[in-house]
């Protein structure tokens, strides 16, 4: 099992460009796994971890309801936002500058073949990262993601998750509100949940967070949880 991970920081990148890159890496791993199974060739599959931010964009998962987007095409343009229907699970969400987006393209055969456990590990990565900023992130029974004060009238979501997997290879992943402009969430029913608020690290602690710092912390927490053996930085 190859527990090495290739990490790339894509900076601010168009959503479709990042999606195409994910699809390319995902297909390379899946195709190699099929070749290994069919021919018996001995070769390690790779694991990739992409960090980025996106210009304002709304994305709708396969099981989502398009009516949860509250803007028509003209209003989207007015707000400088785009919209995509995509191939992950979950409903609608928002990405934009100040939100840390993390895309693990992992072959889970290198770690563990359990999607439920994988999702919980992603959540735990965020929960542990939030502790560095004095924030108590928690899980909310029946709802994916990371929340503050769940099961109270003040419940608010700080991180959304949505993934796709095939042959134990993953793509899509984490939308973590760090310095996000939360006003953009007013134009959707986030994740199809219409009675819960959203928040960000900046809103909770009262100042803007250094993105390089929080990426470093998150990567270290994920490295420990998943037991990465090596972290290699790609261009």
191 catalytically annotated: yes
How would DSSP label each residue in 74-129? Answer: HHHHHTT-EEEE-SSSSSEEEE-TTEEEEEEE-BGGGT-S-HHHHHHHHHHHHHHH
- Write down the catalytic residue from 161, 191, 201, 217: 191
Measure the CA angle with vertex 177, ends 94 and 79; round to 5°: 40
Give pLDDT tens digits for 55-90. Answer: 999 988 887 788 888 877 788 888 889 898 888 877
Using an 8 Å Cβ cutoff, are 93 and 68 in contact? Answer: no
Max Cα-Cα span within the chain: 57
Q: What is the pLDDT of residue 177?
A: 98
Using an 8 Å Cβ cutoff, are 136 and 130 in contact? Answer: yes
Q: What is the pLDDT of residue 42?
A: 83
Q: Mean pLDDT by 10-residue block, N- to C-terminus, for the chain (235 residues)?
A: 96 96 97 91 93 94 80 81 83 92 98 97 98 97 93 94 94 97 84 72 98 98 96 86
Tell me the C-alpha distance between 82 and 168, whole Å. 30
Q: List the end-to-end C-alpha distance of the chain, in Å, as a whole number.
A: 24
Q: What is the pLDDT of residue 93?
A: 85
Using an 8 Å Cβ cutoff, are 83 and 200 in contact? Answer: no
- What is the CB neighbour count within 10 angstroms for residue 180? 25
> What is the pTM for the complete model shown?
0.92
State whether the Cα torsion 51-108-37-231 is positive or negative: positive
Q: What is the pLDDT of residue 182?
A: 93
Count of structural domains within the chain: 1
Can you give the residue range of the structural domain that contains 72? 4-233
CATH code, domain carrying 56: 3.30.930.10
Q: What is the pLDDT of residue 54?
A: 97
Q: What is each CA distance from 38 to 32, 34, 35, 54, 67, in whole angstroms? A: 10, 6, 5, 38, 44
């Amino acid at each position: 099992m190859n527990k090495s991970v290739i990490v790339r920081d894509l900076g601010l990148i168009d959503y479709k460009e990042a999606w195409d890159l994910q699809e390319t890496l995902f297909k390379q791993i899946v195709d190699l796994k099929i070749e290994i199974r069919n021919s018996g060739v001995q070769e390690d599959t790779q694991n990739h971890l992409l960090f980025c931010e996106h210009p304002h964009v709304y994305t709708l998962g396969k099981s989502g309801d398009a009516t949860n987007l509250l803007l028509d095409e003209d209003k989207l343009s007015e707000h400088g936002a785009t919209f995509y229907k995509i191939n992950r699970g979950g409903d609608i969400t928002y990405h934009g500058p100040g939100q840390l987006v993390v895309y693990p393209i992992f072959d889970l055969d290198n770690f563990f073949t359990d999607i439920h456990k994988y999702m919980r590990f992603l959540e735990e990565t965020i929960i542990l990262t939030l502790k560095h900023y004095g924030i108590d992130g928690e899980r909310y029974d029946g709802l994916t993601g990371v929340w503050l004060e769940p099961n109270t009238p003040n419940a608010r979501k700080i991180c959304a998750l949505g993934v796709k997997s095939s042959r134990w290879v993953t793509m899509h992943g984490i939308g973590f509100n760090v310095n996000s402009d939360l006003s953009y969430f007013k134009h959707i029913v986030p994740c199809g949940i219409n009675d819960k608020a959203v928040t960000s690290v900046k809103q909770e602690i009262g100042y803007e967070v250094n993105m390089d710092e929080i990426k470093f912390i998150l990567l270290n927490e994920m490295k420990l949880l998943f037991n990465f053996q090596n972290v290699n930085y790609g261009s």
